[in-house]
Structure 1
Amino acid sequence: MSNAKISLQAWLAGATPPRVLVVSLATSTTFLLAYFIYQRFFSPLAKVKGPFWASLSPAWKLLKMMQGDFHETIVDLHEEYGPIVRIAPNEVIISDKNAIRKIYSTTQGRDFLKTDYYDPFTAFRPTIFGQRDPHLHAKRKRIVSHVDSMSALQAMETYVQSRLQIFLTKMRSFSLTGETVNLSKWCHFFAFDVIGELAFSEGFGMLESGVEDEHIRLIEAQMEFGSTVGMVPFLLPLTKWATFLPVPWLKSLQAGRERLKELTQSRVERRRNKVSDRKDILGRLIEAVDPVTGEKLDPIDLRTEAFSSIVAGSDSTSSALSYTMHHILTHPDVHRTLISELRSAFPSASVSSPPTYAQLAPLPYLQACIKESLRLTPPATINLPRYVPPGGRVVAGTYFPGAITVGMSCLPVHLDTETFGVDARAYRPERWLDEAETPGGERVTPEEMMRYWIPFGMGSRTCIGKNVAMLELVKLIGTLLLYFDVGVHNEKKPEEIPKSKSYFFARMRDPVMVTFRERQ
């Protein structure tokens, strides 16, 4: 018998509970001390500034995400620590605008693959948003890309118009009573009913009833689940056992996620079993064919992409609608200028026959108002993490070894005074029609600013809900202000950048309260 075995047996024979406890504590302390020393002094990210606790554990960013203010924390961190900030033992966030194409473009960034942060967003199978394999993503995109194109959506405009007509009728009824209205709530209902019409071939009826459908709560639960578990994705397998875990918060989110999958499946199957020539998003997905292989989406893939459309096209759009109306209504000069443009362009338009998207879209000031809102208060606020490719890369002037996670949020980029001017924190649509001035006195053109305007991401991974959002923003805001005089009635003094809560998609903490008066 070896000396080692004899020593171990002798130690075990004399091991009393206090002795075992002391040794266990000593071993744990030694391990934690070694881990601390490594992360603080020898890790590849040891010299990158950031919050102390972030360098030791991802629990720091998880807590911030659970509080719903991680997006605002990102902006504060860059102001305190600079363009590169460590937010986890192996992760940094970057605000240098020159890193955008390095990480996300289809050329320079093609080797920066999505991290496991995206895995919790998977529904039935990885969606076009959550698919991490670039080859499988490209294959799926070949099949579905035409479905959400602006030309395809304009062909579906009649479905959007039917929802808009109900919305306008509701606002007209409010104008007759003179009551104060929660516009944020009704924008929410509009966005959800529209995407229901397009992605499920039937609305949710919220505009008619004025009552929140369970889909709103379920989609919010899905985004909160994805964003929070995505911060610690190694825990994802445990969520399958959420029912048995003593974590009420996780149980609730997991239950909501499963319920949303059930509803998606039932609505998609109902549409598949119905003979219809309806050319909405779901109808086009059913008919979609891979131009290379001739393959179509199978039933599971259909449910997956319908799920993706309903999530991407609801919360993001309702958020953008609320923010844009807030900005316009709390800036009287902007409000007057936009009304003048709209009513000069359509002097005799009627509620029963509103202008189309194609008629509204060319209006420059309307576009500038929307673009400026998406810059200052973008709906998608989270950083989008990627793995540094094997062999490492230099990003923002700093070398990062392979497998380190890097990411960017559009928020700090959009607030950069060198890109968007000294008044980058102000809502000023005119910057998109003229120029902006940097702190150094240089002039920045709208074309230059557009290079770094990324509220929907960029490259092959641009948000699939972008065109749906733009269609709804142009139609609802243009039509609403064309037909109604809208007065804002918020009790608090309006903020240039309103406080929000975000689990990927931001939502204003205080709703936009208004009154309506129909234009005579």
Structure 2
Amino acid sequence: MPMPFKMVVHGLEDWRLVTLKTLDGFSIPMSANLFATATIGLTLLAFFVIPYLLSPLRSIPGPFLARYTNLYRLYHTTRGSFHLHIARLHKRYGPVVRIGPNTVDIDYPELIKVVFGTTTKQKAEWKKTEFYLSSSTRVKETGEIMYNLFSQINPELHAKWKRPVAKYYSAAAVARVEGKVDEVVDMLCRELDKRLCGDLGYGGLDLGEWIVYYTWDVIGNVTFSQPLGYLREGRDFDGTLSTADKTLDYFAFITSIPWLDYVFDKNRIMRIGPPSFNHIVGLSVGHVMKRFQEESTEQKSRGVDYLDMFLEARQDWPEVVDDAMIIRYTLSNMIAGADTTSSIIKTAVYYSIKTEGRWEKLRAELEKSGINRGKCPVSYKDARSVPYLEGLVRESMRILPGIALGLERYVPTGGFKLPSEHYLPEGTAVAMNPYVLSRNKKIWGVDVDEFKPERWLRADGESETSYQERLQMMNNADLTFGAGSRICLGKHLALAQIYKGLATMALLYNVEPVDKAKEWKVINSFFVRQEGLDIKLTKRT
């Protein structure tokens, strides 16, 4: 089709003039500035306005800028409080909010089973978006991108990788490494006794830092039979923990515009950022190589760990598990196994000591169940038998989930109609945020902003049938560990650390806030982290 006009640029002496000539010879003189402005305007019209007007999502409410660009979401994600912002948006616009040109955040807990494929028919239909790709790494030597179990969005490959090791993360398998967790719980208590209990005259301590040291050392010990050394040193001695924070901040930033990852982290010419996990990768490779040379007597003396299990999987599944896959498995443990776990423990401690008598009640309930200081470290089985501790942990995961960004899936072939009657075409990115779902009043009641462990327990006068129905409804709305085939593989390992750590500390220590009126700082990165758990700690006599 011929253009309706052609552009004529004048000579050097008239460089400021541009003439548009129509096909019938009519001339339209324009200044260069006016022409540039018109060009920019037409470009913006073509890239933003027209797609918006043609979009089938245009009837979905949301912030004005979010309709046109993902920069809106990127900005609010980098502020570290996206969970609060998205909750406000849902309060303003309702259960369906457009947060990007092709992204919709929904607050329909009943759709978790659909979006996350908890039924066999739906497992492969709603596929992960590129939101997850950033948590992979590019190998400098080969240029290959190394995906892990979290970042692999291909459902067939994920299932293939997961199958050889899934059994090692069951509750029964976690019991095989519980002794490794006990060793680190003991280490935590010894370091708190030695380093901290005598320092209360200096204004207390940030228990949150020590909880982070604890969860990272647990992961090192259950994976390699060697704690990483943070409890022993009492500090981030190798910079790995600060690197992890910065890297998770980058992951959160890049989820809004995933292709930017190929400009920064996956750049083949010159990598710009974020800080790399080379230390963790090197640590994993070193342990794998050392294990190949280990004598059988050494293995018997140290007991089984996850690296042993991964090597066993290599023997059982040689067509899937090679040396590179073993590194993938160890990295999944190291990178994803500590920060979310420490976040939940910190939340439980913070809210327990913010309300007078709650920490003491936890201790009393433990002792009423026959668990005393002589049983420390408390076994996972014993800790799970205490209803109040169960309620405390579940409520901690509800009030502040370890992940508080929207978990995304693509609408499958055929599209999908929401309960609001909005139609989502195939390829629309649907996000469900665990923080938003945990504030749904239809599920949790009008007191959703209140920390209330008792909501997970059977109330006085409530029939067992009513309680079980209510509990099932709450369980179905819980997205703390994800759902469906992509549910967090390390869920039982994380829960073992949480229950054992909390129960043991409650029995051994009196804990109270340094300043009851002071709020801590919550940073919503790729994982939630908190700062300022300043407490006074004394050993029980």
TM-score normalised by the chain length of structure 1: 0.89
Partner of 2:408: 385
Say whether 1:64 aligns with 2:76.
Answer: yes
Compared CA separation, residues 267 and 16, structure 1 to 2 (3 A):
farther
SS of the residue 2:442 aligns to: helix
Matched AA of 2:522:
S
Say whether 1:111 aligns with 2:125.
Answer: yes
How many angstroms does 1:514 deviate by?
1.6
**Range 79-88 or range 330-339, more displaced:** 330-339
| Counterparts of 1:273 and 1:483, CA distance in 2 | 41
Compared CA separation, residues 51 and 264, structure 1 to 2 (3 A):
farther
| Counterparts of 1:287 and 1:302, CA distance in 2 | 10
Identity %: 26
Partner of 1:165: 186
Matched AA of 1:416:
N
Compared CA separation, residues 257 and 320, structure 1 to 2 (3 A):
same
Partner of 1:94: 106
The structure that has the greater radius of gyration is 2
Contact 2:123 2:485 in 1 (8 A): no
Contact 1:166 1:207 in 2 (8 A): yes
Partner of 1:131: 152
Contact 1:316 1:380 in 2 (8 A): yes
Partner of 2:27: none
Matched AA of 2:172:
S
Q: Which runs of 5+ in 2 are unaligned?
A: 19-31, 138-144
| Counterparts of 1:82 and 1:195, CA distance in 2 | 40
How many angstroms does 1:409 deviate by?
0.5
| Corresponding residue to 1:52 among 26, 42, 64 | 64
1:215-235 CA-partner distances (Å, limit 9, x unpaired): 212222332232222221122
| Counterparts of 1:365 and 1:241, CA distance in 2 | 46
How many angstroms does 1:354 deviate by?
3.1
How many angstroms does 1:259 deviate by?
4.9
| Counterparts of 1:480 and 1:109, CA distance in 2 | 40
Matched AA of 1:265:
V
| Counterparts of 2:289 and 2:207, CA distance in 1 | 34
Partner of 1:455: 480
Compared CA separation, residues 155 and 22, structure 1 to 2 (3 A):
same
Q: Summarize the alignment of residues 128-277 of structure 1 with structure 2, pairs less than 5 Å apart.
A: 128-173=149-194, 174-179=196-201, 180-213=204-237, 214-240=239-265, 251=272, 253-275=273-295, 277=299
Contact 1:500 1:506 in 2 (8 A): yes
Partner of 1:516: 537
Partner of 1:356: 379
SS of the residue 1:239 aligns to: coil
| Counterparts of 2:482 and 2:427, CA distance in 1 | 22
| Counterparts of 2:148 and 2:460, CA distance in 1 | 39
1:122-145 CA-partner distances (Å, limit 9, x unpaired): 135221111111111111111111
| Counterparts of 1:264 and 1:65, CA distance in 2 | 31
1:77-107 CA-partner distances (Å, limit 9, x unpaired): 1111111111111111111112211201232
| Counterparts of 1:158 and 1:423, CA distance in 2 | 39
1:200-244 CA-partner distances (Å, limit 9, x unpaired): 432111111101142212222332232222221122222257698
**Range 230-239 or range 53-62, more displaced:** 230-239
Contact 2:513 2:536 in 1 (8 A): yes
| Counterparts of 1:283 and 1:453, CA distance in 2 | 33
| Counterparts of 1:51 and 1:345, CA distance in 2 | 51
Contact 1:434 1:445 in 2 (8 A): no
| Counterparts of 1:468 and 1:238, CA distance in 2 | 35
Compared CA separation, residues 30 and 229, structure 1 to 2 (3 A):
same
Contact 2:402 2:527 in 1 (8 A): yes
Say whether 1:302 aligns with 2:323.
Answer: no
**Range 304-313 or range 280-289, more displaced:** 280-289
Matched AA of 1:59:
L
What is the aligned residue count?
A: 502
| Counterparts of 2:176 and 2:104, CA distance in 1 | 43
Partner of 1:404: 428
Say whether 1:505 aligns with 2:527.
Answer: yes
1:222-277 CA-partner distances (Å, limit 9, x unpaired): 322322222211222222576987xxxx83x4333455444443444344444453
Matched AA of 1:188:
V
SS of the residue 1:385 aligns to: strand
Say whether 1:478 aligns with 2:478.
Answer: no
Matched AA of 1:481:
A
SS of the residue 1:130 aligns to: coil
| Counterparts of 2:372 and 2:517, CA distance in 1 | 36
Partner of 1:487: 512
| Counterparts of 1:85 and 1:500, CA distance in 2 | 24
Q: Which runs of 5+ in 1 are unaligned?
A: none
| Counterparts of 2:279 and 2:10, CA distance in 1 | 52
| Counterparts of 1:517 and 1:84, CA distance in 2 | 48
Contact 1:142 1:290 in 2 (8 A): no
Compared CA separation, residues 385 and 273, structure 1 to 2 (3 A):
farther
| Counterparts of 2:277 and 2:416, CA distance in 1 | 37
| Counterparts of 2:46 and 2:198, CA distance in 1 | 71
Partner of 2:29: none
Contact 2:353 2:512 in 1 (8 A): yes
Compared CA separation, residues 61 and 436, structure 1 to 2 (3 A):
farther
